[in-house]
Amino acid sequence: MKQRNAKILLIIVIASRSISYLLSKIGLNGIPPLELLAIRFALTTLILLLLFHRRLPLLTRHVWKAAGLLGTFLFACMACELISLTTIPSSTAAFLENTSAIWVLVLMAIISHHWPGKQVLTATVLLLIGIACLTLQGAVFHLAPGEIISLTGSVFYAIWICLTARLARQCDPFLLGILQMGFLAIYSTIGMVLFENPVLPADRTTWSAILTLVFICSVFGFTFQPVAQKYTSAEKAGLFTALNPLIATVLGVIFLNETFTPIQLAGAIYILLGIIIVQVPKKYLHKTNRCENGTTTSHTSFHA
């Protein structure tokens, strides 16, 4: 897969998951958070196994270990997200979880012993400003337990993105995407049994939210992200998550008759600028810098 196609796939994957906050909030009205995760990922795993069971003979011990590691951190992220949604607005959760862009940069800087360049740092600042403008619409923000849990989830999400970028190059990324759903189902079911009183969803609205989460956000979204990340960097994958609240806002305008406020419009512009900046090829920037340096050198020599 070409890098350009991988980026397009990653954007589509993020777009497919942009409705997860709203759907999860709806689902939580009928059942507890861990039960919602258990049903969602058990159904996802069953569907994926039925569709792609012929790939199972390709499984190796290394793939199992890698998928288990990814599933662990993704479960931690998802559990924090849903638990926080029981106490804080979905807009606040969307903002805090998408601060993962910063954590990805920090983690990759620690791993590679090299801090990102001005291009990535500038894009990150623009994206965070844009996310804040889109999501924190009059919400009272303070670090209460719900916010802390959501922020912790963003760290787990960043670790998952960094691990996915590395493991997707070592293993079959599609098998990784399928197996991690299975581990999510197992962890969620164990947590549900230990900490909750499961109640079978009785209303159509809850089931509609769960099934949409299954097919759009999980079967397609989480499963194909490792495939896309095999061909792009963890830093860019982290920055692309800023599209999540932007797309969610656009969907609200289209389907819920919501309107862009001036602040949200500014946020959308900041996010688009950040994405554009990070896509400018480094070789072009280096070429521009060389031209500028050459002009400066020539100018100095002339005066000498």
User: Mind spelling out the 3-state secondary structure of 47-61?
Assistant: HHHHHHHHHHHHCCH
Inform me whether the pLDDT recorded for 254 exceeds 80: no
Q: What is the pLDDT of residues 177-224, one digit of tens each?
A: 899 999 999 999 999 999 999 988 889 999 999 999 999 989 888 888
Residue 103: which pLDDT band, with cuts at 50, 70 and 90? Answer: confident
Entry pTM: 0.77
Residue 282 has pLDDT above 80, yes or no: no
What is the full DSSP assignment across 203-242? SHHHHHHHHHIIIIIIIIIIHHHHHHHTTS-HHHHHHHTT
Q: Which H or E element spans position 22?
A: helix 20-27
- For residue 144, what pLDDT is reported? 80
| Structural domain boundaries, residue 149 | 3-303
Lowest mean pLDDT among 7-21, 123-137, 170-184, 284-298: 284-298
Mean pLDDT of the chain: 81
Q: How many domains does the chain have?
A: 1
User: 121, 193 in Cβ contact below 8 A?
Assistant: no
- Between 180 and 231, the higher pLDDT residue: 180
